[in-house]
Amino acid sequence: MTFFPLTVDGADVPRAHLVELTDRLTAELAGHGVGAGRAVMPATGDPVTTVATMLAADRLDAPVLLGGHAATDAEPAWAVVDATARVRAARDRPGGPLPERTAAVLWTSGTSGRPKAVALSRQALAYQGDATAAHLGISARDRLLLPLPLHHSYAYSVLQVCRSTGAHLYVESGFQVRRIIRRIRDARITSMDGVPSMYRALAADAGSHPETRAALAGLRIRGCGGDVLAPGLHERFVGRTGVGLHDGYGLTEAGPNVAINVPGRIRPGSVGSLLDGTRARVHGPDREVQVNSPSLMTGYVDPATGALLPAPFTEDGWLPTGDTGAVSPDGHLTITGRIKEVLIVHGETVAPAILEDVIRTVPGVAEAVVLGRPGRARGDEIHAFVQPADGAADRAALRARVLAACRGALPPQLRPRAVHLAAELPRTASGKVERRGLRALYADVLGAGS
């Protein structure tokens, strides 16, 4: 078991305190029967409690449940660590324990469907930590800033990197531009991980604050994940700071990291090179990306019973991702869209990202999502949903700029029928726009069958 230096919201967590908390939790969890196959869940967002619970579970060879939904009765937990860092027994479980090889259960984001519980083995987690650290050149000398919830698979992969290397982890419980910049400067941060919406805010701030530009340019790694990095955002970030973003590609079912753009070798338009030991291929007429990796899940978990459901692997053991893309001869991966989120226009399949990238370049646009209303004679009727940036007070003018940009860059059949402005778009805990939730909010516009 590896203890790594931990700082939360600028306050160092003494190693002795983390060791003492882990020791106590280990003893209490063992007393509640937690062990191989018998899971524990931290029912709190407190980073110190989450890390200590993870370390205690590792000592007991027990699974840890992360990313569940409000610690409901649907969780297959044997015990729960509450907000006071005390252990309480979970409700009487209707089924048996999880498969013994399970080390962690993480939930998918559910952006395009119902969230699923993914089981990962201890070998999968160890591979992710070691391979990601080697890919990015991270060592014990690095200081990693993480303004993301620890229960998300992206953030959990950063935890594995720290466990693998002993790198110092700086966790922020929220995201505020000024506080993030101070932390980068004062703590001499070398690597930051965030989602596109965070880097969009940082790029905007860098346009008028030299200290923001200097802080961001001083980072060796500017990791970007959790959602697709739009080319327009990357260009804007480079233009404001002089440096690029190290975006990547992953999914919970793959552990999660598959490919990452490496410092010094960013390839714009791609999601980077594959981790050593991970393979990807393109399959079928949809050009679906399939992945083979030592960190593939063992299967989905039935939350009600703890039973392991069959993993949706191909006959030869590859994981279908549901994403479309290409793999270059030198192992760089490009993602072009999502099979289930495509638009059908005049009989042709179109990735929403093509339209969204155009809209995101419009001044005053903070975020854009395109959805289709199905069932029309010529295919989907396109609707654009736009979150205005701060300061974009004239809504009519913003809507007109979006429509003008689409007329200038897109053929007539791909131009939105309507542009809807929303103060906030629904998002998952990782910051990704939740398309399913957006459809529900605008069901009257998109149709009951959408």
CATH numbers and ranges of domains, the chain: 1-338 (3.40.50.12780), 342-446 (3.30.300.30)
Cα–Cα separations (whole angstroms), residue 237 to 184, 213, 387: 17, 10, 19
Measure the CA–CA gap between 97 and 77, rounded to whole angstroms.
Answer: 9
pLDDT of residue 450: 37
pLDDT of residue 1: 55
pLDDT of residue 70: 40
Output the six-digit token pair for 92. 């009487």
Measure the CA–CA gap between 29 and 41, rounded to whole angstroms.
Answer: 11
User: Among 162, 188, 128, which residue's Cα sits nearest to residue 55?
Assistant: 162
pLDDT of residue 111: 52
pLDDT of residue 376: 52
pLDDT of residue 246: 97
CA torsion sign for 152, 193, 364, 212 is positive
* One-letter amino acid for residue 357 of the chain: D
β-pair partners for 80: 41, 88
Q: pTM, whole model, 2 decimals? A: 0.81
Output the six-digit token pair for 259. 């490919």
Q: Which residues of the chain fall below pLDDT 50? A: 69-73, 448-450
Contact criterion met (CB below 8 Å) for 36 and 195: no
pLDDT of residue 114: 64
Measure the CA–CA gap between 285 and 276, rounded to whole angstroms.
Answer: 28
β-pair partners for 279: 292
Measure the CA–CA gap between 154 and 148, rounded to whole angstroms.
Answer: 8
